[in-house]
Amino acid sequence: MELEGKTAILTGAAGGVGEATARLFAKEGAELVLVDIRKRQLDVLTEELAGYGARAAGFAIDVSEESQVRQVVETTTERFGKIDILINNAAVCKMIPILDIGAAEWDRVMAVNLRSVFLFCREVFRRMKERRSGKVVNIGSAAGKIGGLAAGAHYSSSKAAVMCFTKSLALQAAEYRINVNAVCPGPTKTEMTDDWGDETNKDFASKIPFREYGRPEDVAEAILFLCSDRSRYITGEILDVNGGLVMD
């Protein structure tokens, strides 16, 4: 098992890519701290993983609230003794034209998608720095590279910022042998894309060279690679998982 003995914090764990990643990491031997605002779904997943024999704890919090983020990191350190892996996956995405985006809507998307990444990275980096070891993976989006074709401008802007922040942290963390990377999915079959409707999904899938959306498991496998020892010499990388939608 590639992650045996490793402790991982995973945000946005209760659905889609987060849920697939939690299951994969549990099978690979990781101890998991699952974070999501959806308590019921989080409790179900935590119980399921415990049934596999995985050590898992769930925290239903608002990831944009500084005090709540700090509490999760402190509790994780106390309960598990260390933090080896951080995956920032929590996000909200809405298809809203620019003229219909209010200031409150903009701020909320930035808070969940970007502020939470900063808060968790800052608190976890403090601890990884002391141990001179760790893996951080932030989840970007193809929309952050090409604009909001299937998402609002606030979503695509937040994801572009996440990817830039990833490189900034990677530069500062490198001397401590901490790997900081991002996974950048294209359209992926989740509850989020299901809400777009069949016609929209068919149209966007036709623009992907593979002619289909990715699966959450496809993204989870890329995350696993960047959290494993196989990525020892990779940092500051933005890894595309998009069926050829964006090639750079």
**pLDDT of 149:** 63
Distance from chain centroid for Cα 233: 21
Please list the active-site residues: 155
**pLDDT of 52:** 85
Phi, psi (degrees; rounded to nearest 5) at 27: -65, -25
Q: 132: left (phi > 0), else alpha (psi -120 to 50), else beta?
A: left
**pLDDT of 175:** 98
**pLDDT of 150:** 61
**93: CB partners within 8 A, 6+ apart:** 109, 151, 152, 155, 192
Enumerate the domain spans of the chain: 7-241
Which residues of the chain fall below pLDDT 50?
A: none
What single-letter DSSP state applies at residue 140?
-
**pLDDT of 107:** 97
Q: Which of 23, 69, 66, 65 is nearest to 44 (CA)?
A: 23
State pTM to two decimals.
0.96
Task: State in words which class domain 7-241 has.
Answer: alpha beta
> Could you give the CA distance from residue 190 to residue 41 in angstroms, rounded to a whole number?
15
State the CB neighbour count (10 A cutoff) for residue 244: 12
